């Protein structure tokens, strides 16, 4: 029994440097099972599941001797928790799929994940993506999926019926909302704060980053350095204010408080609501349930206050990472090389409908994409994109979704919410040990 | 402790060391010590560190300061006390009434006992999912039923003023069967002579309850209070399944605040929160435990 | 007259209990029997087309018959941890009540601490890894035992107090040693509380999802609650399957209760004799 004290106490006393931890734990943990199977931990979303299955099927067809098992974990914050716990305890399987950007930074990648920057297969991954999975000089991930836009998915039929134009400024957007409200057949804006869907409330703030950067080009760096904040930067505060305006004007669907993400998508396709601020990977979700539904929708970037050229805030897809605890990384590396190749994206294209451009050189997108995807592609072609804040700064507070739910529900004012979120952000920055906090 | 004094004269009559060996503690102590005490003591240390995936850095009481600065912590504290008091109070009252009722001469007693107890058997997640659907403001069965009789039902889980109470009611729905069972066990254990004596004295059924059943049921009551109050003060699984502390932070309790910090990877901070929660629950429970222990001995 | 009163209040109680307790359960059953589209309406109505068998197959076959493996795992987990919990806790509760000494306050405090303090996940995993028990069913069994002990000790200690010491003395005069005294004389007398503990803890362990999630990760070891957890987001648009899963994992505890219901009642009445 005394042996149990060994892994605990010296480490606690020493303040437990994580490198020591990881090394020490590798000895006593099982990591993945060493039965020759390649184990990959993925989240339980429809989109990740079908993309990974397509990749695995194509890979095992070419390598019949390899067996790959997908282990599924819950999504959302519970999933973040599992990933962190398993990394900390040295129990991560051979590979795992996870977000890029600030969520990745919270995993302490330089000490937990293998640096892939020396691998030749990484040469074909675009720099834009590499930026989202880099910490220090090390590059950690290989993208699965395509670029994602954050903005407004809208019902094409409703726009046609009411003779509306795609708005390029916030005022035009609000005018469209008023017109939809006056027509009286549908809710102008869908919000979904129901079970496990509160995250969707963040889009008004997060997808506004293109507009924030247009007004304040240095915003991301100043924000990371604790020099600019949501509450004292008018352009950044606008996202919170817009949510409050929409809610106060009565543009939201009546059941916003209990509707879930999937129900919101169904309502949008059915025309019960016309605008839904969301990420474009929702299209994969819709396709899984209602393949025809995807063609009913269009997409535009979240409009801002400035009349400059309207653009879109973009998200990088998640990536596959190789934990340092993997003692026999050969098979995992080989699989990563496949994912980073054109064969990899062809496999993805064959398995799941493409929703945006790939981040791998030489990968092509089929020409007959749904209208929303074509509209997103147009922003990329015109160069009117900017990454979401979480890909420019490691700092993202964990409570934003509760705060934006409060704004959308009329419990808290925009200014109050922005100040509260700044506090939340501070906590995260202190945990990361950043300078200036 | 107090019981020592009572049993002292008896102990002289025989040697307890022979018949009640201390090694009976050992197997339980081994499992409990290794898997509960050791990790708990370790986490006590981590409460004083900034502990996340990057390692653990000693920062003194900063976590506690930070924890008490959480803007929604105060509401969480208030909610915790409301939730604990509401659930344990209702479980005691309803459990007692149901216990008395289900030991009286009624038809279908076995069926009724089973029905009251069955929610105890269903998983919390299952109950949470089911009631979240039933309590939906527009499509939910509850509000549809209310609409039939012309009442415009509230947003049970979406109204900030109501969400916590709604979850507490579901908690009672789920847990009252256990309280009832404990009370039934207590009532059945009351010797019949007491009732007969009361009958001879011409006691009404109301007086029966007040002067005969209630005092004799004190052990059952204290068990119900201890279990449901501790459960209520610590509880968050049902809250987590049904509202995730929402809308916003309005139904957050201390345990769900801690859980959210844990999920965010702020392990040191959440360890500090656990220490605070432990102190809070102890502050309520230890005096209560002591009081009830005393009352039990007096009896 | 008393008889008619019993009938009347019984009838009222039956109606009330049906509304309060059976309607939610009926809702689960009805939704589990509907087609996907009809279930999405979430109405309390009879299905226009019964799809109970199709839904049953869909849930059982999902993820390579994961649910069946999960049932096996959950059964082993529940039975093993309950047996250990009952024996270990009864031993502690018995000695605590019968032999108060200077250690008793400490034991008391530890029992209360076990009820109050939420477990620390990461250090616990370290300990399990150190013992080579992480990711194993025995490891999870011991975890469930450790977390359930406090509650059981509390109940056992209270009920041992109701057994007169004369019983011990008689057995000792008959020449029983401490082990025989406990296992052959005292333990059988604790029947009623044992059933209570078994029911309550079996339900708690069987329905636990947090501990399996952290201490026994991996699809090979899934327990029934994890199927619900894993299916939940997958089924957000398929209420019929979600509720079928809830229904299926609720049935074993119900059967157990139906089966042991008589033992519980019998145990309770036998407890009454001793007052």
Restricting to A residues 260-279, those with a Cβ less than 8 Å away from any Cβ of C are: 260-262, 266
Q: Is the pLDDT of residue C261 over 80?
A: no
For A271, phi and psi rounded to 5 degrees? 80, 10
Distance (Å, whole) CA C248 – CA B22:
44
C123, C135, C236: residue with CB nearest A260: C236
A219-228, B218-227, C93-102, C265-274: lowest mean pLDDT where? C265-274
Distance (Å, whole) CA B41 – CA B63:
17
* Closest chain B residue to C129, measured at CA: B35
Residue B262 CB partners (closer than 8 Å, separation 6+)? A81, B270, C121
Long-range pairs of A80-83 with CB within 8 A, sequence gap ≥ 24: A80/A106, A80/B263, A80/B264, A80/B265, A81/B262, A81/B263, A81/B265, A82/C213, A82/C214, A82/C217, A83/A41, A83/A107
Q: Are strands A95-98 and A67-73 parallel, antiparallel or unpaired?
A: unpaired
Size of interface A-B (CB pairs under 8 A): 115
As a three-state string, the secondary structure of chain A is: CHHHHHHHHHHHHHCCEHHHHHHHHHHHCCCCCCCCEEEEEEECCHHHHHHHHHHHHHHHHHCCCCEEEEEEECCHHHHHHHHHHHHHCCCCCCEEEECCCHHHHCCCHHHHECCCCCCHHHHHECHHHHHHCEECCEECEEECCCCEEEEEEEEHHHHHHHCCCCCCEHHHHHHHHHHHHHHCCCEEECCCCCCCCHHHHHHHHHCCHHHHHHHCCCHHHHHHCCCCCCCCCHHHHHHHHHHHHHHHCCCECCCCCCCCHHHHHHHHHHCCEEEEEEECCHHHHHHHHCCCHHHHEEEEECCECCCCCCCEEEECCCEEECECCCCCCHHHHHHHHHHCCHHHHHHHHHHCCCCCCCCECCCCCCCCCCHHHHHHHHHHHHCCEEECHHHCCCCCCCCHHHHHHHHHCCCCCHHHHHHHHHHHHHHHHHHHCCCCC
Q: How confident is the model at residue B16 (pLDDT cuts 50, 70, 90)?
A: low
Distance (Å, whole) CA B242 – CA A242:
28
Cβ atoms A321, A106 nearer than 8 A: no
* Closest chain C residue to A46, measured at CA: C234
Cβ atoms A302, A210 nearer than 8 A: yes
Q: Which two tokens stand for residue A228?
A: 């600019």
Distance (Å, whole) CA A349 – CA A130:
21
Q: Which fold has domain B72-298?
A: MetI-like fold (1.10.3720)
* Closest chain C residue to B10, measured at CA: C165
pLDDT at C267: 53
* Closest chain C residue to A70, measured at CA: C219
State how far residue B278 is from chain A, nearest Cα, in angstroms. Answer: 22
Distance (Å, whole) CA C183 – CA C88:
12
Q: Which residue is associated with the tokens 């049932």?
A: C71
- Which position has the higher pLDDT, C231 or C141? C141
Restricting to B residues 125-164, those with a Cβ less than 8 Å away from any Cβ of C are: 125-126, 129-131, 133-134, 136, 139-141, 144
What average pLDDT does the segment C74-83 reach? Answer: 95
**Gap between the terminal Cα atoms of chain B:** 16
Q: How confident is the model at residue C263 (pLDDT cuts 50, 70, 90)?
A: low
Residues of C in contact with A91 (CB under 8 A): 125, 129, 134-135, 217
* Closest chain C residue to A83, measured at CA: C214
Whether B30 contacts chain C with CB within 8 A: no
Distance (Å, whole) CA C222 – CA A82:
15
Q: How confident is the model at residue A219 (pLDDT cuts 50, 70, 90)?
A: very high
Cβ atoms A273, A264 nearer than 8 A: yes
| Chains interfacing with B (3 or more CB pairs < 8 Å) | A, C
Distance (Å, whole) CA C79 – CA C223:
13
Q: What is the ipTM of this complex?
A: 0.85
Q: Is the pLDDT of residue A334 over 70?
A: yes
Restricting to B residues 238-277, those with a Cβ less than 8 Å away from any Cβ of C are: 255, 258, 262, 267, 271, 274, 277
Cβ atoms C98, C247 nearer than 8 A: no
Residues of C in contact with B181 (CB under 8 A): 196, 264
* Interchain proximity C122–A88, CB inside 8 Å: yes
Q: Are strands A385-387 and A319-321 parallel, antiparallel or unpaired?
A: unpaired
pLDDT at C233: 59
Distance (Å, whole) CA A273 – CA A252:
9
A5, A196, A431: residue with CB nearest B52: A431
Whether C123 contacts chain A with CB within 8 A: yes
Whether B218 contacts chain C with CB within 8 A: no
pLDDT at C235: 55
In the DSSP assignment, the letter for residue B58 is E
What average pLDDT does the segment A243-256 reach? Answer: 95
pLDDT at B195: 77
Q: What is the pLDDT of residues B254-269, one digit of tens each?
A: 888 888 888 888 888 8
Q: How confident is the model at residue A345 (pLDDT cuts 50, 70, 90)?
A: very high
Q: Is the pLDDT of residue C241 over 70?
A: yes
How far out from the chain centre does Cα B165 lie?
Answer: 15
- Which position has the higher pLDDT, A146 or B54? A146
State how far residue B56 is from chain A, nearest Cα, in angstroms. Answer: 5
pLDDT at A61: 93
What average pLDDT does the segment C125-138 reach? Answer: 91
Cα radius of gyration rounded to whole Å, chain C: 23
Closest CA to A200 of A300, A295, A275: A275
pTM given for the model = 0.84
* Interchain proximity A262–C236, CB inside 8 Å: yes
Restricting to A residues 192-231, those with a Cβ less than 8 Å away from any Cβ of B are: 193, 195-196, 198
Q: What is the pLDDT of residues A113-150, one digit of tens each?
A: 999 999 999 999 999 899 999 998 999 999 999 999 99
Q: Is the pLDDT of residue C17 over 70?
A: yes
Whether B58 contacts chain A with CB within 8 A: yes
Q: How confident is the model at residue A5 (pLDDT cuts 50, 70, 90)?
A: very low
Parse chain A into domains and list their residue ranges: 22-146+316-365, 148-315+373-432
Q: Which two tokens stand for residue B107?
A: 């038809």
pLDDT at C193: 80
Restricting to A residues 130-189, those with a Cβ less than 8 Å away from any Cβ of B are: none
Whether A427 contacts chain B with CB within 8 A: yes
Q: How confident is the model at residue B166 (pLDDT cuts 50, 70, 90)?
A: very high
Distance (Å, whole) CA B78 – CA A313:
40
C200, C254, C269: residue with CB nearest B178: C200
Q: Is the pLDDT of residue B39 over 90?
A: yes
**What is the per-residue DSSP string for B187-227?**
HHTS-HHHHHHHHHTT--HHHIIIIIIHHHTHHHHHHHHHH
State how far residue B271 is from chain A, nearest Cα, in angstroms. Answer: 14
Buried b (16+ CB within 10 A) or exposed e, B190-207: beeebeeebeeeebeeee
pLDDT at A31: 41
* Interchain proximity B35–C242, CB inside 8 Å: no
Q: Which two tokens stand for residue B94?
A: 């309803």
- Which position has the higher pLDDT, B252 or C232? B252
Interface test with C, best of B7, B19, B172, B239 (most C CBs within 10 A): B19
Parse chain B into domains and list their residue ranges: 72-298
SS3 content of chain B, % helix, strand, coil (to 5): 75, 5, 25
Q: Which fold has domain A22-146+316-365?
A: D-Maltodextrin-Binding Protein; domain 2 (3.40.190)
Q: Is B264 helix (H, G, I), strand (E, B) or coil?
A: coil
Q: Is the pLDDT of residue C192 over 80?
A: no
Closest CA to A310 of A389, A386, A388: A386
Q: Is the pLDDT of residue C199 over 60?
A: yes
A167-176, A369-378, B280-289: lowest mean pLDDT where? B280-289
Q: Which residue is associated with the tokens 């889980």?
A: B157
Q: Which fold has domain A148-315+373-432?
A: D-Maltodextrin-Binding Protein; domain 2 (3.40.190)
* Interchain proximity C233–A88, CB inside 8 Å: no
Distance (Å, whole) CA B110 – CA B95:
16
Closest CA to A115 of A134, A131, A91: A134
State how far residue B169 is from chain A, nearest Cα, in angstroms. Answer: 19
Whether B115 contacts chain C with CB within 8 A: yes
Q: Go through the domains of chain C in sequence order and give each one's CATH number.
A: 66-274 (1.10.3720.10)
Residues of A in contact with B138 (CB under 8 A): 254-255, 258
| Fold agreement (A22-146+316-365, A148-315+373-432) | yes
pLDDT at A314: 95
State the Cα torsion C71-C73-C78-C84 to the nearest 10°: 160
pLDDT at B295: 64
* Interchain proximity B247–A80, CB inside 8 Å: no
Q: Which two tokens stand for residue A417?
A: 């919410």
Cβ atoms A213, A219 nearer than 8 A: yes
Distance (Å, whole) CA B117 – CA B106:
17
Residues of A in contact with B60 (CB under 8 A): none
Whether C121 contacts chain B with CB within 8 A: yes
pLDDT at B17: 66
Q: Are strands A297-301 and A273-279 parallel, antiparallel or unpaired?
A: unpaired
Looking only at Cα atoms, what is the longest distance across chain C? 72
Interface test with C, best of A18, A21, A28 (most C CBs within 10 A): A28
Distance (Å, whole) CA A237 – CA A416:
10
Q: What is the pLDDT of residues C147-189, one digit of tens each?
A: 999 989 988 887 788 788 888 989 988 888 899 999 999 999 8
Residues of C in contact with B40 (CB under 8 A): 113, 117, 119-120, 123
Q: Which helix (H) or strand (E) holds B39?
A: helix B38-46
Q: What is the pLDDT of residues B176-223, one digit of tens each?
A: 988 888 888 778 777 778 778 887 887 777 777 777 778 888 877 887
Distance (Å, whole) CA A268 – CA A314:
21
Size of interface B-C (CB pairs under 8 A): 255
State how far residue A113 is from chain B, nearest Cα, in angstroms. Answer: 12
* Interchain proximity B120–C203, CB inside 8 Å: yes
Q: What is the pLDDT of residues A46-76, one digit of tens each?
A: 788 889 999 999 999 999 999 999 988 877 7
Interface test with A, best of C42, C122, C126, C215 (most A CBs within 10 A): C126
* Interchain proximity C253–B106, CB inside 8 Å: no
Cα radius of gyration rounded to whole Å, chain B: 24
Cβ atoms B186, C162 nearer than 8 A: no
State how far residue C118 is from chain B, nearest Cα, in angstroms. Answer: 7
Averaged pLDDT of chain C: 84
Residues of C in contact with A92 (CB under 8 A): none
pLDDT at B15: 63
* Closest chain C residue to B234, measured at CA: C116
Q: Which two tokens stand for residue B126?
A: 């299952």
Residue C187 CB partners (closer than 8 Å, separation 6+)? C90, C194
For C176, phi and psi rounded to 5 degrees? -75, 135
pLDDT at A307: 67
Closest CA to C214 of C151, C130, C139: C139
């Amino acid at each position: 029994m005394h042996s149990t004290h060994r892994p605990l106490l010296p480490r606690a006393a020493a303040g437990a440097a994580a490198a020591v931890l990881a090394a020490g734990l590798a000895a006593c943990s099982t990591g993945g099972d060493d039965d020759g199977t390649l184990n990959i931990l993925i989240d339980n979303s429809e989109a990740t599941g079908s993309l990974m299955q397509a990749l695995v099927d194509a890979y095992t067809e070419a390598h019949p001797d390899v067996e790959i098992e997908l282990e599924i974990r819950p999504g959302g914050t519970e999933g973040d928790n599992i990933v962190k716990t398993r990394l900390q305890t040295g129990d991560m399987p051979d590979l795992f799929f996870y977000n890029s950007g600030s969520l990745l930074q919270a995993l302490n990648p330089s000490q937990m994940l293998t640096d892939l920057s020396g691998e030749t297969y990484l040469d074909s991954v675009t720099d834009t993506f590499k930026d989202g999975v880099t910490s220090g000089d090390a590059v950690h991930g290989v993208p699965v999926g395509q670029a994602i836009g954050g903005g407004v998915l809208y019902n094409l039929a409703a726009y046609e019926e009411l003779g509306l134009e795609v708005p390029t400024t916030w005022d035009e957007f609000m005018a469209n909302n008023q017109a939809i409200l006056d027509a009286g057949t549908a809710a102008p804006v869908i919000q979904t704060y129901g079970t496990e869907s509160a995250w969707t409330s963040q889009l008004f703030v997060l997808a506004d980053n293109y507009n924030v950067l247009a007004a304040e080009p240095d915003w991301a760096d100043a924000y990371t350095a604790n020099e600019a904040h949501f509450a004292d930067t008018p352009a950044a505060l606008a996202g919170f204010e817009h949510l409050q305006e929409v809610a106060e004007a009565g543009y939201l669907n009546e059941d916003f408080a209990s509707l879930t993400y999937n129900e919101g998508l169904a309502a949008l396709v059915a025309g019960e609501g016309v605008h839904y601020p969301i990420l474009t990977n929702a299209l994969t979700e819709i396709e899984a349930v209602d393949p025809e539904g995807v063609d009913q929708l269009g997409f535009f970037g979240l409009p801002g206050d400035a009349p400059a050229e309207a653009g879109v805030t973009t998200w990088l897809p998640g990536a596959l990472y190789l934990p340092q605890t993997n003692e026999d990384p050969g098979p995992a590396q080989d699989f990563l090389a496949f994912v980073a190749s054109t064969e990899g994206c062809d496999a993805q294209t064959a398995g799941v409908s493409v929703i945006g451009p790939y981040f791998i050189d030489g990968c092509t997108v089929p020409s007959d994409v749904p209208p929303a995807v074509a509209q997103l592609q147009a922003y990329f072609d015109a160069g009117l994109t900017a990454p979401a804040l979480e890909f420019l700064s490691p700092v993202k507070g964990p409570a934003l979704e509760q705060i934006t739910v409060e704004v959308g529900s009329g419990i808290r004012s925009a200014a109050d919410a922005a100040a509260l979120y700044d506090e939340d952000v501070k906590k995260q920055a202190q945990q990361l040990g950043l300078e200036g906090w | 402790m107090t019981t020592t004094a009572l049993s002292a004269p008896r102990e002289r009559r025989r040697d307890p060391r022979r018949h009640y060996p201390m090694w009976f503690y050992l197997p339980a102590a081994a499992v409990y010590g290794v898997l509960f005490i050791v990790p708990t003591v370790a986490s006590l240390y981590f409460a004083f560190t900034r502990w996340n995936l990057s390692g653990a850095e000693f920062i003194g009481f900063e976590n506690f300061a930070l924890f008490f600065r959480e803007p929604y912590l105060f509401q969480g504290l208030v909610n915790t006390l409301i939730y604990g008091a509401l659930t344990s109070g209702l479980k005691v009252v309803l459990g007692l009434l149901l216990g008395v009722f289900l030991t009286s001469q009624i038809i279908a007693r076995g069926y009724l006992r089973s029905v009251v107890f069955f929610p105890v058997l269903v998983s919390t997640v299952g109950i949470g999912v089911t009631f979240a659907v039933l309590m939906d403001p527009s499509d939910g069965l509850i509000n549809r039923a209310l609409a039939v009789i012309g009442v415009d039902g509230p947003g049970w889980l979406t109204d900030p003023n109501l969400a916590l109470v709604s979850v507490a009611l579901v908690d009672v729905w789920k847990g009252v069967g256990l309280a009832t069972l404990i009370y039934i066990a207590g009532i059945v254990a009351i010797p019949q002579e007491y009732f007969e004596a009361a009958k001879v004295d011409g006691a009404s059924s109301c007086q029966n309850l007040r002067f005969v059943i209630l005092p004799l049921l004190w052990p059952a009551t204290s068990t119900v209070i201890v279990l449901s109050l501790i459960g209520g003060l610590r509880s968050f699984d049902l809250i987590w399944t049904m509202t995730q502390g929402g809308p916003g932070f309005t139904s957050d309790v201390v345990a769900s605040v801690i859980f959210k910090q844990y999920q965010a990877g702020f392990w040191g901070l959440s360890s500090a929160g656990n220490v605070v929660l432990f102190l809070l629950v102890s502050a309520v429970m230890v005096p209560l435990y002591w009081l009830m222990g005393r009352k039990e001995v007096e009896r | 007259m008393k008889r008619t009163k019993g009938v009347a209040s019984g009838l009222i109680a039956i109606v009330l209990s049906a509304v309060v307790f059976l309607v939610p359960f009926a809702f689960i059953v009805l939704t589990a029997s509907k087609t996907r589209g009809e279930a999405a309406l979430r109405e309390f109505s009879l299905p226009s087309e019964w799809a109970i068998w199709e839904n049953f197959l869909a849930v059982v076959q999902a993820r390579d018959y994961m649910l069946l493996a999960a049932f096996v795992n959950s059964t082993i987990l529940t039975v093993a941890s309950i047996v250990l919990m009952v024996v270990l806790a009864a031993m502690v509760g018995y000695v605590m009540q019968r032999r108060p000494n200077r250690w008793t306050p400490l034991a008391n405090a530890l029992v209360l601490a076990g009820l109050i303090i939420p477990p620390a996940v990461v250090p616990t995993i370290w300990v399990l890894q150190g013992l080579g028990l992480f990711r194993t069913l025995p490891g999870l069994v011991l975890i469930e035992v450790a977390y359930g002990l406090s509650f059981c000790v509390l109940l056992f200690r209270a009920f041992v107090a109701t057994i007169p010491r004369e019983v011990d003395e008689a057995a000792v005069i008959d020449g029983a040693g401490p082990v025989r005294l406990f296992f052959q004389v005292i333990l059988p007398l604790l029947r009623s509380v044992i059933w209570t503990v078994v029911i309550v803890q079996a339900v708690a362990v069987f329905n636990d999802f947090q501990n399996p999630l952290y201490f026994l990760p991996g699809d090979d070891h899934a327990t029934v609650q994890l199927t619900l957890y894993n299916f939940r987001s997958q089924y957000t648009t398929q209420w019929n399957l979600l509720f079928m899963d809830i229904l299926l994992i609720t049935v074993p505890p119900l059967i157990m209760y139906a089966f042991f219901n008589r033992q519980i009642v019998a145990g309770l009445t036998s407890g009454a004799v001793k007052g």
